[in-house]
Homo-oligomer: A and B are copies of this chain.
Amino acid sequence: MIESSTAQAAAIDTTWYEPLTASAENGAMSMSDFHSWFNARTRANSFQVEQIPFAELRGWDFDPETGNLVHETGRFFSIEGLRVRTNRPWMSEWGQPIIVQPEIGVLGILVKRFDGVPHCLMQAKMEPGNINGLQISPTVQATRSNYMRVHGGADTKYLDYFRPGSRGRVLFDGLQSEQGSWFLHKRNRNLVVETDDDVPLDEDFCWLTLDQIRRLLLLDHMMNMDSRTVLSCIPPSLSEPSKQDAGDDSFTHAVLRSSAGRSRAVHDTGEILSWLTEVRAQQELVQRRVSLKHLTEDGWRVGPDSINHRDGKYFDIIAVAVQASNREVTAWTQPLLAPRQPGLLALLVKRIGGTLHALVQARSDAGMLNIAELTATVHCQPGNYADVPMEHRPTYLDHALAAPAHRVRLDVLHSEEGGRFHHAQNRYLVIEVEDDFTESDDDRYRWATLHQLTSLLPHSNYLTVELRSLMASMRSLTQRL
């Protein structure tokens, strides 16, 4: 048994949030109301997640021919093998299990103004892999199977607002990538729609201002990954905090200025794109889907209870049985990917010429669609490198781990997608480096302003979901606490 809970909400100190800012006071509920509501949802919705042997999966089975773990409908997702060939000097070829989910789902946030203040309709939603069970998700979080109702469940609430010809104004609509180490070519459609309609409020939903959301982004395991990616796509014009909220904290101002179109960048955006093109053109990434059976030479073993690596690294594939009261389907079984260690996502930032810049990395992961994407300066599971020679440790990892507390601007634990990953958690760090910080000569890193990064969001496969999470969380820093 992994987890069983009816009322185990983390004990959250809500007093920390008071007094409310002017903006939050206009919200549909105060922060303490939010926490009361969230705790009530936790109590009202029972869920139970239990690890089971693969043989007890219902509707899922290992395909006799390929050995891949697939659903009998051929839908949802599958666990397959992937062989990767690169031209890296080290770890240039490998095989690994990977989640294959060619369908594109919808992650949508509905926005409505109350007294002129934009509010987002957010949901308290259980996912089987979530830490704490319940987390805050977007208004709509639906696979194509969900909204085509392949599984015969209830309607997805509020989905009509996100259909073509919906009653709202589309503020953002684009495909965004998800974890390249664990998914093959996975993207979801991120949508932000504003409505003037009277929207009936379901009991599992609440309206939150962007300021309130910023506060919640500072809490561990509160805002789920799907929330974070859609929030990162909200146009700055909607989400920029009012001037009085920006306060006089100089780092806050630096984040705001770096996010603005007028910020002065070390490299113009054409140079950033040319550098990324160079990385993509030089980086070999040949992906070939293979049978799960063909990964034994790579150290992967398919056991009755899990698929795991002989070194005890990376991740396991497990199976769970789920019972939940507030989902479209109330009981089901499914595979999950369970990372062996937490990850570290550290973004080094520095004021250059008065403008805050982030040191982004062009990173190529096994399952990426477009060879390489921009991500955090440090992006790894440090545990995988415990026994690795110094020269092969990720650049800047040790710098991030040794950062003194007074340089740390953000430090929060977030969960990754609980519908596919079991207790996948990453530590998200923003570290403002010293003035005399010297870059490595590794050409996979570049300084970029926050505005430059945001300007790439309308186009797919530029920023990893991890970097988008960091960017959504950095907006929290523009909130005076």
One of B174, B286, B289 near A102 (C-beta < 8 A):
B286
One of B173, B274, B285 near A170 (C-beta < 8 A):
B274
A307 within 8 A of B: no
Chain A 95-135 interface mask (CB, 8 Å, partner B; 1/0): 00000001110100000000000000000000000000000
What residues of chain B lie closer than 8 Å to A281, measured between beta carbons?
Answer: 104, 106, 144, 175, 189
Q: A102-B286, A289-B288, A458-B273 are in contact. Are A173 and B278 (CB under 8 A)?
A: yes
A43 within 8 A of B: no
Q: How far is the CB of A276 from chain B (nearest CB, A)?
A: 9
Specify the chain B residue showing the minimal Cβ separation from A280. Answer: B175
Specify the chain B residue showing the minimal Cβ separation from A458. Answer: B273
Q: Within the assembled complex, what's the spacing in Å between the Cα atoms of A87 and B187? A: 18
One of B103, B104, B274, B370 near A460 (C-beta < 8 A):
B370
Chain A 134-155 interface mask (CB, 8 Å, partner B; 1/0): 0000000000100000000000
One of B173, B284, B286 near A277 (C-beta < 8 A):
B173
Q: Within the assembled complex, what's the spacing in Å between the Cα atoms of A284 and B148? A: 13
Q: How far is the CB of A402 from chain B (nearest CB, A)?
A: 31
Chain A 344-358 interface mask (CB, 8 Å, partner B; 1/0): 000000000000000
What residues of chain B lie closer than 8 Å to A288, measured between beta carbons?
Answer: 289
Secondary structure call for the A interface: mixed
Determine whether the beta carbon of A270 is less than 8 Å from that of B175: no
A164 within 8 A of B: yes
Q: How far is the CB of A265 from chain B (nearest CB, A)?
A: 16
Chain A 172-202 interface mask (CB, 8 Å, partner B; 1/0): 0111000000000000010000000000000
Q: How far is the CB of A271 from chain B (nearest CB, A)?
A: 8
Specify the chain B residue showing the minimal Cβ separation from A188. Answer: B281
What residues of chain B lie closer than 8 Å to A175, measured between beta carbons?
Answer: 277, 280-281
Determine whether the beta carbon of A164 is less than 8 Å from that of B278: yes
Q: List A residues 282-303 near B (Cβ within 8 Å).
A: 284-286, 288-289
Q: Within the assembled complex, what's the spacing in Å between the Cα atoms of A121 and B174? A: 38
What residues of chain B lie closer than 8 Å to A103, measured between beta carbons?
Answer: 284
Q: How far is the CB of A454 from chain B (nearest CB, A)?
A: 14
Chain A 246-280 interface mask (CB, 8 Å, partner B; 1/0): 00000000000000000000000011011001101
A399 within 8 A of B: no
Q: Within the assembled complex, what's the spacing in Å between the Cα atoms of A103 and B281? A: 8
One of B164, B173, B284 near A273 (C-beta < 8 A):
B173
Determine whether the beta carbon of B460 is less than 8 Å from that of A189: no
Q: How far is the CB of A111 from chain B (nearest CB, A)?
A: 15
What residues of chain B lie closer than 8 Å to A443, measured between beta carbons?
Answer: 164
Q: How far is the CB of A284 from chain B (nearest CB, A)?
A: 7
A459 within 8 A of B: yes
Q: Within the assembled complex, what's the spacing in Å between the Cα atoms of A296 and B173? A: 41
Determine whether the beta carbon of B189 is less than 8 Å from that of A277: yes
Q: Within the assembled complex, what's the spacing in Å between the Cα atoms of A263 and B379? A: 43
What residues of chain B lie closer than 8 Å to A170, measured between beta carbons?
Answer: 270-271, 274
Q: Within the assembled complex, what's the spacing in Å between the Cα atoms of A370 and B104? A: 12
Q: List A residues 426-443 near B (Cβ within 8 Å).
A: 443
A31 within 8 A of B: no
What residues of chain B lie closer than 8 Å to A459, measured between beta carbons?
Answer: 459
What residues of chain B lie closer than 8 Å to A164, measured between beta carbons?
Answer: 278, 443
One of B173, B273, B285 near A174 (C-beta < 8 A):
B273
Q: Within the assembled complex, what's the spacing in Å between the Cα atoms of A273 and B285? A: 28
What residues of chain B lie closer than 8 Å to A289, measured between beta carbons?
Answer: 288-289
What residues of chain B lie closer than 8 Å to A271, measured between beta carbons?
Answer: 170
A369 within 8 A of B: yes
What residues of chain B lie closer than 8 Å to A370, measured between beta carbons?
Answer: 369, 460
Q: Can you name 12 extra interface pairs (CB under 8 A) apart from A175-B280, A270-B458?
A: A102-B284, A106-B281, A164-B443, A170-B270, A170-B271, A174-B277, A175-B281, A273-B458, A288-B289, A289-B289, A370-B460, A459-B459
Closest 6 CB pairs between A and B? A173-B274, A104-B281, A459-B459, A189-B281, A173-B277, A102-B286
Binding site for B on A (CB under 8 A): 102-104, 106, 144, 164, 170, 173-175, 189, 270-271, 273-274, 277-278, 280-281, 284-286, 288-289, 369-370, 443, 458-460
